[in-house]
């Protein structure tokens, strides 16, 4: 059976539900799949395409590249989504052949090095909230400042994503054992150790003051109304202290994660261990940090480069 536009339209929802159940994907991931498939369906309708074959896919890719001028990374994602969807249709015996069977497309992917902060910048950032605390006059403002300090400290100390931070609940933090359970991407949990005694003390202080905000939920970090903080709130908090510390205006909370990972590698950490700590499903994702991990390269070249020994 050929793949018609009707088959595509009637099976998108079923496919998305399958992703949720069988592959246990997050809502964010399934929304991305749905968006890609819906965009393709809309393009088919606008161009009066009734049957999808290899030429249809090629035309769609060309349209994304030339008319929409999308980045290769975005086009590759849509390509992978469509290929996966048609594979699903074949497995369910809804169609006989996939238009991707004889298709070979290579995408150029630009390697983007992770942006990091210097040790001096990290110190400025961590001190910014402490300095602000000295100027706070009311207990409420002190509580908010303590919370903000705990957030910045935790992001840097364990290198978690801000999406992971907002989902931490009280039960995930074990102060005595100094452990933190993180609910990562793809619903993969990992247990991290909070190695800094200073960070543990800040968290203890925050937990004591947290009750004064009359919590309505079990989230570790809450807003002034007692509700769970949003990702946007974390971004605003970081932006506030970024400005107070006088850091690069382009830096984001994710710079703390990049810095954390790079410094681990600089200090001799095993890359597999760093992969587990960061929650990367593939070592390839972690390896990007070796590109900016200059300290180890410096030590190797200082110690082993034969040119250092030549006296001309």
What is the CA angle 187-189-194, rounded to 5?
140
Report the alpha-carbon distance of residue 256 to residue 224 in Å, rounded: 25
Residues 222-254 as b/e (b if ≥16 CB within 10 A, e otherwise) read: beeeeebbeeebbeebbeebbeebebeeebebe
Rounded distance, CA 13 to CA 18, Å?
9
- Counting Cβ atoms within 10 Å, is residue 136 exposed (0-12), middle (13-18) or buried (19+)? middle
Residues in a beta bridge with 169: 219
CA 284, CA 109: separation in Å to the nearest integer?
Answer: 14
Tell me which residues are annotated as active site: 161, 185, 254, 257, 280, 289
């Amino acid at each position: 059976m050929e793949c018609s536009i009707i088959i595509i339209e009637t099976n998108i929802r079923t496919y998305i539900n399958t992703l949720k159940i069988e592959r246990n994907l997050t809502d964010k991931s399934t929304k991305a799949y749905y968006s890609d498939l819906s965009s393709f369906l809309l393009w088919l309708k606008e161009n009066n395409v009734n049957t999808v074959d290899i030429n249809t896919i090629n035309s769609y890719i060309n349209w994304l590249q030339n008319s929409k001028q999308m980045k290769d990374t975005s086009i590759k994602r849509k390509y992978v989504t469509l290929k996966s969807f048609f594979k699903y249709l074949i497995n369910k015996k809804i169609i006989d052949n996939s238009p991707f069977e004889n298709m070979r497309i290579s995408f150029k992917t630009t390697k983007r090095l992770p942006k990091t902060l210097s040790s001096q910048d990290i110190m400025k950032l961590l001190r910014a909230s402490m300095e602000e605390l000295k100027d706070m006059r009311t207990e409420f403002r002190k509580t908010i400042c303590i919370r903000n300090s705990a957030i910045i400290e935790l992001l840097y100390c364990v290198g978690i994503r801000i999406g992971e931070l907002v989902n931490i609940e009280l039960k995930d933090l074990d102060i005595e054992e100094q452990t933190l359970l993180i609910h990562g991407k793809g619903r993969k949990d990992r247990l991290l150790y909070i190695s800094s005694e200073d960070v543990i003390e800040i968290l203890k202080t925050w937990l004591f003051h947290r009750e004064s905000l009359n919590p309505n939920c079990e989230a570790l970090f809450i807003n002034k109304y007692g509700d769970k903080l949003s990702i946007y709130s974390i971004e605003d908090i970081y932006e506030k202290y970024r400005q107070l510390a006088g850091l690069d205006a382009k830096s984001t909370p994710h710079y703390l994660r990049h810095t954390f990972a790079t410094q681990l590698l600089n200090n001799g950490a095993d890359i597999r261990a760093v992969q587990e700590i960061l929650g990367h499903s593939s070592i390839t994702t972690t390896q990007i940090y070796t590109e900016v991990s200059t300290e180890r390269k410096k030590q190797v070249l200082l110690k082993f480069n034969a040119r250092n020994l030549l006296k001309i």
